[in-house]
């Protein structure tokens, strides 16, 4: 990253990003996440420090383990998939893009994983152009 925002600025940046993310350390423990109040995938604050395997539904744990294992071995840097997820009281299906990114230092050493999720339903409907301030 170029530049050094202070902690207040960095927090504002991370909360403003148009996606929600969770961060794991190299030992697969949950370090942090953003958008706590508005998350698609809500979790209790008690999840901080918890092993990621305790934060996923049982049917997806083996897939999460495979992705993280491949990242640790240097065989993978990104994994992405999307699901149709019922959201809200009406259970309206929304298209959710989920991406995992290996976090590495400048020498390529594995530091952890960033899981980013985004509702792309409305983005999929975009066509044509909309110029700045139109």
pTM: 0.89
Please report whether residue 54 resides in a domain.
yes
Q: Map residue 19 onto helix, strand or coil.
A: coil
| H or E stretch at 130 | none
Does pLDDT of 92 surpass 90? yes
Q: Across the strands, what pairs with 68?
A: none
| Residue range of the domain that includes 30 | 17-79+98-115
pLDDT given at position 123: 96
Please report whether residue 6 resides in a domain.
no
Please report whether residue 84 resides in a domain.
no
Please report whether residue 9 resides in a domain.
no
Please report whether residue 131 resides in a domain.
no
Q: Which residues contact 72 (CB under 8 A, 6 or more apart)?
A: 26, 110
The string of pLDDT tens digits covering residues 14-68 is 999 999 999 999 999 999 999 888 889 888 899 999 999 888 888 999 999 999 9
Q: How far apart are CA 34 and CA 68, in angstroms?
A: 21
Q: When comparing pLDDT for 131 and 36, which is higher?
A: 131
Structure tokens that stand for 13 in this block: 């940046």
Overall number of domains in the chain: 1
């Amino acid at each position: 990253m170029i530049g050094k925002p202070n902690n207040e600025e960095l927090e504002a940046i991370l909360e403003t990003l148009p996606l929600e993310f969770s961060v794991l350390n190299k030992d697969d423990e949950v370090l942090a996440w953003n958008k706590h109040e508005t998350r698609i995938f809500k979790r209790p604050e008690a999840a901080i420090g918890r092993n990621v395997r305790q934060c996923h539904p049982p049917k997806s744990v083996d897939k999460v383990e495979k992705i993280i294992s491949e990242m640790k071995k240097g065989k993978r840097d990104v994994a992405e998939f999307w699901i149709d997820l019922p959201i809200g009281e009406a259970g309206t299906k929304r298209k959710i893009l989920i991406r995992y990114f290996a976090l590495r230092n400048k020498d390529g050493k594995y530091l952890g994983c960033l899981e980013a999720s985004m509702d792309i339903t409305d983005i999929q409907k975009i066509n044509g152009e909309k110029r700045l301030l139109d």
